[in-house]
Amino acid sequence: MALATRKVQWRIGVDRSKGNPAEGADLKREGVTKLHAPAMWVFVLALVVAVVAVVSVFYSIPFVSDYRFWVAIVAYVVLALGNLVET
C-alpha cells in the first residue's frame, strides 16, 4: 500500500478497502453527539415561527416586526434542539 494511502487511512481510522479499522487507529469515540430527526410537531413549530418572521417583513405584526431577526433565530434554535433531543 502506498505511503499516502496509509496516512489517509490512519487519519480516518478505517481501512476503506476492507471496511475494518485501520491498524493502530484509536477508535475511542467520546463525546460524539447523536442527532435525531425532529418530531413533526417540533418541525411544524419551527416552520410556523420562521414563516411569522418572514411575514413580519411585509406586514406589521406587534413585537415580531421589531425583532424579526431574533424570531427567525428562535425558529432555527428550536429546530436545532429538535435534532439534538430525542422526542
Structure confidence by residue, pLDDT tens digits, 41-55: 999 999 999 999 999
Cell numbers 491498524 correspond to 23
Report the DSSP beta bridge partners of residue 14.
21
Same domain? 83 vs 43: yes
User: Mean pLDDT across the chain, nearest whole number?
Assistant: 79
Task: Determine, yes or no, domain membership for 60.
Answer: yes
Same domain? 20 vs 42: no
Task: Convert the pLDDT of each residue in 74-87 to its tens digit.
Answer: 999 999 999 998 87
Same domain? 85 vs 47: yes
Same domain? 61 vs 85: yes
pTM over 0.85? The answer is no
pLDDT band at 25 (very low <50, low <70, confident <90, very high): low
Same domain? 51 vs 75: yes
Instruction: Domain count for the chain, please give it.
Output: 2
pLDDT band at 73 (very low <50, low <70, confident <90, very high): very high
Residues 6+ apart with CB under 8 A from 38: 46, 79, 82, 83, 87
Domain boundaries, position 61: 37-87
